[in-house]
Structure 1
Amino acid sequence: MTHQPFEPTFRHLRLGTTLRTLRTQAGMTLEGAATAVGWQTPKLSKIENARQQVRPAEVTALLGVYGVTDPDAVTALENLARDARRRGWWQNYRAVVSRAYTDYISLEDEAERICEWSPLLVPGLLQTAAYARETIGAAASSTPPNEVAALAEVRQARQAVLSRPDRPLQFWAIVHEAALHHRFAIRPTVMREQLQRILDAAELPNVTVQVMPLDSTPHPGIVGGFSLVSFPGSIPDVVLVENLGGDIYLEGDATSPFTTAAQRISAAALSVEDSLVRITQLKEGHRK
């Protein structure tokens, strides 16, 4: 019988990284931790490096050795192990969605909170279908119309995390006002509908929207946009930084500067109440 080679998912990578961090925090060596749970050292090494699958019960055993007793943390990591090979809905779009993008959608699907600083576009979780099609088409002018439509569908499908019945995503979006002034010559109503979509989303108790005004004081966000993704339990935060060279993921201590930056960016932006007033004013400016 031929065995299929193990192909790690992004969940496997994050689980392995988290277990390694917890072991280090517990002051245990790889050999000591493996011995404590009755394993050979190579097995734990493979798990930490996402080269071998780990069962939820094995995760529970490791957490016991590491002294992790918080029920939320234990449950979160058990679920991560259980879902590591789960096929997400986004796999249906793998012909048009890059591996880096599927990695982010996977993070988004499991996240508890996301803070997104978006200086150029309305965040994907708040986009209308028309706005998504227009901006995707503009950014990738050589992309065939059918792929543009598929990518727009992906952005719409992602928004389901905001209305999950069991654990809706806590979403904090800080958007630069410049991103709210776009005009679309072929469909002049696109931006007005988009602004109304933001106002509607802001009524959800789990969605917070702030606008960075055009006349804001200097702040860390002038360097560029990012998304700070937080998870339940002891799973480390992840930061996504996008640029022309590709997506960059940061974890662990490397995310701390972004937590501080998000707080300073929020302080430089309009208050939530004033932000909604500004969005309403801009929407009225798009009236024909």
Structure 2
Amino acid sequence: MPAGGRPTVRSRRLGAALRRYRQAAKLDQPQAAEVIASSQTRISRIESGHVSARVIDVRLLLDAYGVRDLEARARLEALAKGSNRRGWWLEHAAHLRADYLDHIALEDDATYIREWQPVLFPGLLQTASYAEASITAGPNCLDPDRVAHLVKVRQGRQAKIEPGQTTYTVILWEPVIIHPLVSPEIHREQLASVAGVAKRRNVTVQVLPLAAGVLAGATSAFSSFSFDSAPTVEAVTMENLRGTSVLEDPEDLSAYANAFDQLRSAALAPEASARLIRGALRNIKEE
């Protein structure tokens, strides 16, 4: 069973893929159960993510479903191997919500990450000071020990966008850059950090200008994730007052992929965005 007795995002992704391949092969669950000498109940629990499939079961099922794509097979075998893998973030699990753990697991597996943020700098870009300021300013009263763990986790997540890691694209609304929600000192440090990270070959930072108008309010902040060599959106997360929602329905994924494309088309080019960030940094220094 996945760690904690609940489906993990990895086991859900694996189960959903196996279900799609079974249905495409026009086999029912009892027939799939015969392939791995098991029960229909186990197949059902594998497909729902409540049970972790063994690598040998995945191989046998993919053979039966006629899946010959070596890349697809390797990806699903990797999910089977990693469905119960303990990530570095689990040492902080006592201080993290289960839905936040899901977000980090998606982030950790992703080959492409795309984010839209109209209010704050996203966690993957936050300095420690900015992270602490944004966490403590939230509606929840958190004790200092938990705040320290949350800041440490945000810092740990940033290894994912270091050079040579995942391809990361973020679109920020212009007020995030020019209207500080934290102290001028913290905002200046944050802008300088973003300007440096934006120079990485695997990172693209774009700013949606105020002139874009109502487009900025068309959707709240979200992150999208791809897990293959192609940037096809396979999961989306959104934060809300009560936690993080994970979307995996194909229609939802298509809608958010289209929304991001619209935002990116209306945003300033990376070079112009970098100039705007540098200009905002100079203005703060002059003040």
TM-score scaled to structure 2, two decimals? 0.90
Are residue 209 (structure 1) and residue 205 (structure 2) matched? yes
Match for 1:259 among 257, 266, 279?
257
Task: Give percent identity, aligned residues only.
Answer: 37
* Cα deviation code 1:144-169 (max 9, x no counterpart): 2222122111100001111275xx11
Match for 1:219 among 203, 215, 219?
215
**Distance in 1, Cα, partners of 2:143 & 2:16:** 38
**Taking structure 1 as reference, are residues 245 and 9 closer, same or farther at Cα in structure 2, changes over 3 Å only?**
closer
- Counterpart in the other structure of 2:82: 83
**Distance in 2, Cα, partners of 1:148 & 1:142:** 10
Q: Is the 8 A contact 1:126 1:159 kept in 2?
A: yes
Are residue 51 (structure 1) and residue 47 (structure 2) matched? no
Amino acid aligned to 1:174: I
**Distance in 1, Cα, partners of 2:181 & 2:46:** 50
Amino acid aligned to 2:154: R
- Counterpart in the other structure of 2:239: 242
Match for 1:195 among 191, 195, 204?
191
- Counterpart in the other structure of 1:275: 273
- Counterpart in the other structure of 2:101: 102
Question: What are structure 2's unaligned runs of at least 5 residues?
Answer: none
TM-score scaled to structure 1, two decimals? 0.89
Superposed structure 1 runs of 4+ greater than 6 Å apart: 233-236
**Distance in 2, Cα, partners of 1:273 & 1:164:** 19
Amino acid aligned to 1:224: S
* Cα deviation code 1:39-75 (max 9, x no counterpart): 4323212211223221112112212222222222111
Question: What are structure 1's unaligned runs of at least 5 residues?
Answer: none
**Taking structure 1 as reference, are residues 108 and 8 closer, same or farther at Cα in structure 2, changes over 3 Å only?**
same
**Taking structure 1 as reference, are residues 184 and 51 closer, same or farther at Cα in structure 2, changes over 3 Å only?**
closer
**Distance in 2, Cα, partners of 1:111 & 1:89:** 16
**Distance in 1, Cα, partners of 2:272 & 2:107:** 28
Amino acid aligned to 2:172: V
- Counterpart in the other structure of 2:166: 169
**Distance in 2, Cα, partners of 1:171 & 1:203:** 12
Q: Is the 8 A contact 1:184 1:190 kept in 2?
A: no
Q: Is the 8 A contact 2:208 2:216 kept in 1?
A: no
Paired residues, number: 282
RMSD (CA atoms):
2.4
- Counterpart in the other structure of 1:285: 283
TM-fit CA distance, 1:259: 0.7
- Counterpart in the other structure of 2:73: 74
Of the structure 1 ranges 151-160 and 198-207, higher mean CA displacement relative to structure 2 is found in 198-207
Match for 2:176 among 179, 190, 210?
179
* Cα deviation code 1:91-113 (max 9, x no counterpart): 11122211110110011001111
Q: Is the 8 A contact 1:236 1:252 kept in 2?
A: no
Q: Is the 8 A contact 2:33 2:40 kept in 1?
A: yes
Match for 1:231 among 224, 227, 230?
227
User: What is the DSSP-based 3-state SS (H/G/I as helix, E as strand, rest coil) of the residue aligned with 1:259?
Assistant: helix
**Taking structure 1 as reference, are residues 21 and 236 closer, same or farther at Cα in structure 2, changes over 3 Å only?**
farther
**Distance in 2, Cα, partners of 1:141 & 1:37:** 48
TM-fit CA distance, 1:124: 0.8
Q: Which is helix-richer, 1 or 2? A: 2
